[in-house]
Amino acid sequence: MSGLRIAIVAHGRFHAFDLARELERLGHDVSVFGNYPTWAVERFGLRRSGYRGLPAHGAFDRALRRAAPALLPATEAFRHRWFGQWAARALVGQAWDIVHGWSGVSEELLRQPIDARSRVLMRGSAHIAEQADLLAAEAARTGVAIDRPSPWMIDREEREYAHADRIVVLSEFARASFERRGVPRERLTVVPLGVAVDSFRVTPPVVQTRIARLLDGQPIRVLFVGALSAQKGLADFVTVARACADLPMTFTLVGPSLPETSRLLARGGSNITVLPARDQAHLPAVYDAADVFFFPTIQDGFGMVLAQAAAAGLVLLATTHCAAPEILAGGAQGWTVPARDVDAMTTRLRWCHDHRSALADRVRQAAVPARLRGWDDVAAAFVAEAGTWMRAGEARGRD
């Protein structure tokens, strides 16, 4: 299918810019509606002429997060409605084949009269009610306050789910969460994320160094990349690191801190090293220095760092509450364990120490390119579903 007119609406970069860029390369007419300043989008491969921004929204949001994060809950409704109303107005007066809006800021464009053959909602996590329940349970389990969806946002997103022609999710875990909440399978489409494979692909010298280090008995280097949050399983990361403190094994966390980070890390030991977040250009070196990527997430719609780590040739250990099962099915090396099962996590890491030759074999296998999706694959999958989405939108319009 060629020549589609597509609007992508997102209140941040997320993967919207990567998707838009690759859809344009396939010959589609793509317009992005976001909150970045127009001058900034070219560095992500977007055309200025194909971008329309509300930079005041982005500036306001960033200023709050930096200077007054305590005000975020009180301004949540204002910020999301502001962007949603602006986007809905910006889309009026043009004819679209597909309007693809991010959850949380799409209620207005889903409810107002816009000339679109299909309105497709993108949800980057599990169903919001399931996400809220998982995080509430994690807060109770860890005894720390966790930022989680508010009742206002849950209600808003559930209205978005009801009004969308289709809901795009990023993994089978996310799709199952919607089905458990009563959303029919036929209203859901799984479009997994991609990775800049060439930017992260492991090189033979790195593989050789990694194998030599393992066989020489040096400490096994366990890595996590992402927000240092309870949602990402930081409590379990700390617990597992403590359970492996008797082994020659180091644990490194790379990412931004959240309000709960310091309390959770206080339970850890000296085998944990914390490093600040790295930009994309410097992440390959972080992966190259590691052996095993440990991702004990409580819930992730996908977990893009898993795809990066797989491209970097790392052996993966992750929970099933993300896209790890699909990534491993594509040829990446490693294991999945149930979320919060610290005994299973610890057992796997202790196996790595006790079976270094077998781990080295997995490292060799991990160096063989897995069937990882690039962003061009994501765009192609999006287009392949477009006909189904448009037929669904037209059918809903007749009902």
**Domain co-membership, 32 together with 170:** yes
SS3 state of residue 6: strand
**Domain co-membership, 178 together with 302:** no
- The closest of 118, 115, 105 to 54, measured between CA atoms, is 105
SS3 state of residue 273: strand
**Domain co-membership, 145 together with 230:** no
- Report the alpha-carbon distance of residue 335 to residue 120 in Å, rounded: 33
Laid out side by side, the sheet with 220-225 consists of 272-275, 249-254, 220-225, 292-295, 315-319, 334-337
* pLDDT in the model for residue 282: 93
- Report the alpha-carbon distance of residue 399 to residue 395 in Å, rounded: 6
**Domain co-membership, 226 together with 360:** yes
- Amino acid identity of 15? H
**Domain co-membership, 152 together with 202:** no
Range of the domain at 333: 197-366
- Amino acid identity of 179? E
**Domain co-membership, 189 together with 97:** yes
Question: Counting beta carbons within 10 angstroms of the beta carbon of residue 323, is it exposed (0 to 12), middle (13 to 18) or buried (19 or more)?
Answer: buried
**Domain co-membership, 190 together with 259:** no
- Amino acid identity of 99? V
What is the tally of structural domains in the chain? 2
> Please, are residues 182 and 162 in contact by the beta-carbon 8 Å criterion?
no
**Domain co-membership, 148 together with 90:** yes
**Domain co-membership, 169 together with 269:** no
Laid out side by side, the sheet with 51-53 consists of 51-53, 29-34, 5-9, 96-102, 116-122, 166-169, 188-190
Query: What secondary structure does DSSP assign to 24-48, as a single string?
Result: HHTT-EEEEEESS-GGGGGGGT--G
Written as tens digits, the pLDDT of the chain (399 aa) is 679 999 999 999 999 999 999 999 999 999 999 999 999 999 999 999 999 999 999 999 999 999 998 899 999 999 999 999 999 999 999 999 999 999 999 999 999 889 999 999 999 999 999 999 999 999 999 999 999 999 999 999 999 999 999 999 999 999 999 999 999 999 999 999 999 988 999 999 999 999 999 999 999 999 999 999 999 999 999 999 999 999 999 999 999 999 999 999 998 989 999 999 999 889 999 999 999 999 999 999 999 999 999 999 999 999 999 999 999 999 899 999 999 999 999 999 999 999 999 999 999 999 887 788 999 999 999 999 998 899 877 777 644
- Report the alpha-carbon distance of residue 58 to residue 83 in Å, rounded: 9
**Domain co-membership, 190 together with 205:** no
CA R_g for the chain: 22
Decide: pTM greater than 0.85: yes
What's the CATH code of the domain at 12?
3.40.50.2000
**Domain co-membership, 79 together with 214:** no
Instruction: Give the number of residues written for the chain.
Output: 399
**Domain co-membership, 230 together with 357:** yes
Per-residue H/E/C for 349-395: HHHHHHCHHHHHHHHHHHCCCCCCCCHHHHHHHHHHHHHHHHHHHHH
Query: What secondary structure does DSSP assign to 301-321, as a single string?
Result: SS-HHHHHHHHTTPEEEEESS
- Amino acid identity of 278? R
- The closest of 273, 270, 235 to 254, measured between CA atoms, is 273
Give the position of tokens 């893009």.
304
- The closest of 59, 58, 62 to 33, measured between CA atoms, is 58
